[in-house]
Structures are given as structure tokens and as C-alpha cells.
Amino acid sequence: MRKDNIYIGKSVKAWRVLLFFTFHFSLFIFMACSPHEDNVFGASPAERQQQAIEKYRALLTSKSDGWAMDFYPSDLVLGGIAYTARFVGDEVELSSEMLIDNAKGDKKKYAAGQVVKSEYHVIAGQGVMLTFDTYNPLMHYWSQPSGTNSEGLATDYEFMFVSASDDEIVLRGRKYGNLLRLYPLQESASTYINDVIQMRTTLSSIPRKRAVVDGKSVNVTVMSSHFQYTEDGADKDIPYIYTPTGIRFYQPITIAGVTESELTFDTTSHDLTSPDGRMQLPLPTPLEQFCGTVTQWHFIYGTTDAKYDMCDELREIVKTAIQRTTKENNENVDDIYIGMNKQNIEDDAQRMVIGWSTSTSMVGVWYELRYGLDMMVADEDNMVIDIRILDGGLYTNNYPQFTPMLDFIRNNTPFQMQFDNIQNPQYVKAVSVADAEKWFALKL
């Protein structure tokens, strides 16, 4: 009996194991074969991709005037460049606020606002992409390679859709991540481009150094399509683009807890103001304008002592520097200046400099040497500024004779600025606050 019991017991266990596996296998079948499987997205990925292609294509072609296209090419050093894009059938008509000198491409120049047609396609790639896939100099200028620069300006011509609505389309470059943002045009493309150029001319001539956020003054630097400020101890540098009404940021900026995406130019007060009114960038004072000048103020010197418009000490320093440059570098000093770097921003990121230009006996060969400079208003009421000299640029080591001139400024800052005409200055005398005998004059 006992034996039987054991036998039957084992037999029941085997059934149970079999039943267990059979039951789970059947569950698998129930799940795998369920004919009424719910599709989370309502359609297969391929169908949705095809639908997205059709939707985006329809959206792009839906605007009869086309789109304003905020384009941030290359490594953002130039900020944003305003484009327009009108999509008709398989063709796109582009225009740009920038004169495109396509020397490395078709060797032609394309004026600002000139419309150039090419093809575009909306295709499946990484997600859905907008590609400018036949040559358009306005778009492909940025990716044109050359013998000296195999990457060109490292810019995309294929863009992935990030978001799309009737009011805004956001795209990101597939290879380099360049940003492209489209807004429906409210006017013709040519009017838009002209308005942008006008706004760029108005705003870029007067860099701004101060923001007022909820009534509190904050130091910022707004020039060359870059908005620089410090937030929580970290330096921020946000590129922006000019629009017909003001500027729009690459990404929202947050200063003192206030976040803004764009600023509007007030043609009466000349202030830049955010839509909610919490952030203003007032028109700089004459002193602030001098500190952020976009031109060059030149030192005054000549072949005789009388032509030097500076104190005796500095005159001897500068005279020696010029003589040594002729003798040791075999170059003539053509200009000594304070202000905007003459070098393009692509070649040298330092914007405010103290520099000198030299030329050789060979026609067309000249050199630009410069040290970075930071000029800040120290006392607005008394017209005092502080001048700080920063790092030397390329090849300045070859010109040690200019070091005493830099030391003179280092040792005698701050300076009181005496302008000939406060509203429209052409000449200024900088006199050391510590010692009135130390001074130099500059002219535009």
C-alpha cells in the first residue's frame, strides 16, 4: 500500500508540472495571438512616419508668404542669421539678411534679400527631416568645404523636425545640431529682410552694457549677436537674432529669476524691452557707448613730437615702440587704437581690444596685433572709466616694445573721459584720475 501511495503521489506531481507549463504556454498564446491588440499610437511606426511627412510637408507649403527662418549656422559665433523660406511644390525660395560672398562655392555674391530657388524634400531619416538637397548658395555656403577647411563652416543642410505647429516649427541639424526655427511671415519676404537689416543697423551700432530687471540694474554685454551675463556665478553667452521688432534669443535667458525669449525695440525711447515689461535694456549713456564702441578710437601721433597728442611720458614710450618696430620687425606702425577688434569674429573672438596695425614693404601685407580690453564705467557722474588690459592675441610676443604702453594704461587707470561733444563725440581726452599729468587723446 505504501508503495502504491508513493507511486500515485509522484504521478500527481508530474501532472502538476505539466499543467503548470501548459497553462503558461496557453497564456503566451492568448497574448501573442490576441487579434484585438490595442495600438498605443493608433498606427504602426511606418504609417505614423508617413503621416508625419505628409503633415509637415503640408504645413511648410501652407503659408503663401512663406516663413521667417531663424538660422543659427556654424558654431554660433555669428549668432543667428535671418532667412526667409517659401516652400512651393518641390521648390524652396530662400533669402537672407546677409550678403553671401560664396568665394569657395560658385564664386558669386548674393545680395541681402536676393531670392534663390532650389529643391527641398521632407524625408524619413532620423525621425522626419527637412533637407535642402539640391544646391542653394544661401544654405550651402555654410557647409561648403575647401582645401584649407575640409569641414567648411560645419553647418547642417538636413534638419530633423523637433516640433511643428501652425505658429512655429523647430528643427535641429542632423550632423552638427544647428538650430532652425520657422515662424509664419506676416509680410513679404523682402519687407521682412529689409526690416531685419534696419533693426540690425540700429541696434548693432550701440552695444548695450546694462539691463534693468524688475527695477534692478544688472551688468550685461549685448553686442555682435551675443547676450552675455552672469547668473549664479556662471558666465552665460546666449546668441540672438535680429527681427523686425527687436531681438529673439537662441534659447530663453534667465536673469535675476526673470526669463525672457525676446526683446522689443522702442523707437521712441530706444530701449529694448521684454513683452512682459520686466526686463529693459536702456539706451546706453555716451560713456557706456564709448566703453562698448563698435568702431576704433585712434591714438594721435606723427613724425614730430608736436603731432603726438598725449603726455610726454607716453609720447616717449610710443615713439620708441614705433622706432623699434621699424628697426626690429621691419614694419611700419600704421595705427594704434582702442575699440572693436579689426579682425573678424571668426578669426579672433576678443571683441574689445587695444591694438596696432603694421605693414611691410610688400604691397597688401599687413598685420593686426592686439590685446583684449575691458572698459567699464566706474563713475558715470564724473565720466570715469576703468580700463583693464587682458591677454595678448596672436604674435604679440614679437612686439615687446609695446609692453610699456600697455603698462602705462594699467598703472594709470581709471581715467576721466573729456569728450569734445557728449552726444556726438569725435575726440576724447583720457586723463588719469590719480595723476592729471598722465593722459592721452583719442579721435574717431
Partner 1 sequence: MKMRYNNIYIGRRVKAWRVLLFLILNSSFLILYTSCSEEELSKTSIFQDNPSSSKPFDNWLYENYVMPYNIDLKYCLEDKETDYQYSLVPATTENSIKVAHTVLYCWLQAYDEVAGIKFTRKYVPKIIQLVGSNAHNKKGTVVMGTAENGMKVTLYAVNFFKNDRSTLNTYFQIMHHEFTHILTQNKEYDTEFRTISDGSYITGDWSNKYESDALAAGFITAYAMSEYNEDFAETLSYYLIYTQAQWTSKMKLAGEEGEAIITRKLNIIRKYMQTAWDIDIDEMRDVLQRRINDVVAGKIDIDSVN
Using CB under 8 A as the criterion, which residues of the chain lie in contact with partner 1 when the complex forms? 1, 4-5, 8, 11-12, 15-16, 18-19, 22-23, 25-26, 29-30, 33-35, 44, 46-47, 50, 90, 105-106, 118-119, 121, 123, 125, 131-135, 140, 143-147, 149-152, 154, 157-158, 174-175
Q: Which is nearer to partner 1, 46 or 234 (CB)?
A: 46
- Give yes or no for a contact between 317 and 412, defined as CB atoms under 8 angstroms apart: no
Least Å from the CB of residue 399 to partner 1? 31
Question: Rounded to the nearest whole angstrom, what is the least distance from the CB of residue 19 to partner 1 in the complex?
Answer: 6
Kindly state the cell numbers that stand for 35. 487579434
Helices (H), 152-271: 189-204
Please tell me the distance from the alpha carbon of residue 120 to that of residue 79, in angstroms, as a whole number: 24
What number of other Cβ atoms are within 10 A of residue 384's Cβ?
19
Show contacts of 55-58: CB within 8 Å, 24+ apart. 55/164, 56/122, 56/128, 56/130, 56/161, 56/164, 56/169, 57/122
Q: Find, among 409, 406, 431, 408, the residue nearest to 419 by Cα.
A: 431
Q: HSE-up of 253 (CA within 13 Å, CB side)?
A: 28
The position carrying cell 537672407 is: 96
Provide, rounded to whole angstroms, the least separation between the CB of residue 346 and partner 1: 16
Spatial contact of 255 and 247, defined as CB atoms under 8 Å apart: no
Q: Which is nearer to partner 1, 158 or 331 (CB)?
A: 158
Q: How many CB atoms lie within 10 A of CB 318?
A: 23
**Lookup result for grid cell 597688401:** 364
CB of 33 to partner 1, least distance (A): 4
* Minimum gap (Å) between residue 160 Cβ and partner 1: 12
By C-beta, is 68 or 122 nearer to partner 1?
Answer: 122
- The smaller minimum CB distance to partner 1, of residues 35 and 364, is found at 35
- Buried/exposed 366-377: b ≥16 CB within 10 Å, e otherwise: ebbbbbbbebbb
End-to-end CA distance of the chain: give it in Å, rounded. 120
Which three three-digit cell numbers place residue 152?
567648411
**Least distance CB 70 / partner 1 (angstroms):** 22
The DSSP line for 303-362 is SSGGG--B-HHHHHHHHHHHHHIIIII--EEEEEEEEE-SS-TTT----EEEEEEEE-SS
Q: Supply the minimum distance, in Å, between the C-beta of residue 91 and partner 1.
A: 10
Backbone angles phi, psi at 200, to 5 degrees: -60, -45
Select from 255, 254, 273 the least CA-distant residue to 263. 273
Q: Closest distance between partner 1 and the C-beta of residue 150, in Å?
A: 4
CB 173 to partner 1: min, Å: 10
Identity of the residue, 6 or 422, whose beta carbon is nearer to partner 1 in the bound complex: 6
Q: Based on CB atoms, which residue is closest to partner 1, 145 or 275?
A: 145
Q: How far is the CB of 11 from partner 1 (least distance, A)?
A: 7
Q: How far apart are CA 60 and CA 67, in angstroms?
A: 8
Using the minimum distance from each CB to partner 1, give the nearer residue, 123 or 389: 123
Question: Is the CB of 33 or the CB of 306 nearer to partner 1?
Answer: 33
Quick one: 140 or 200, whose CB is closer to partner 1? 140
Closer residue to partner 1 in complex, CB, 120/192: 120
Which residue, 5 or 267, is less far from partner 1 as judged by CB?
5
Find out whether 354 and 327 touch, Cβ atoms under 8 Å: no
Q: Find the shortest distance in angstroms from Cβ 104 to partner 1.
A: 9
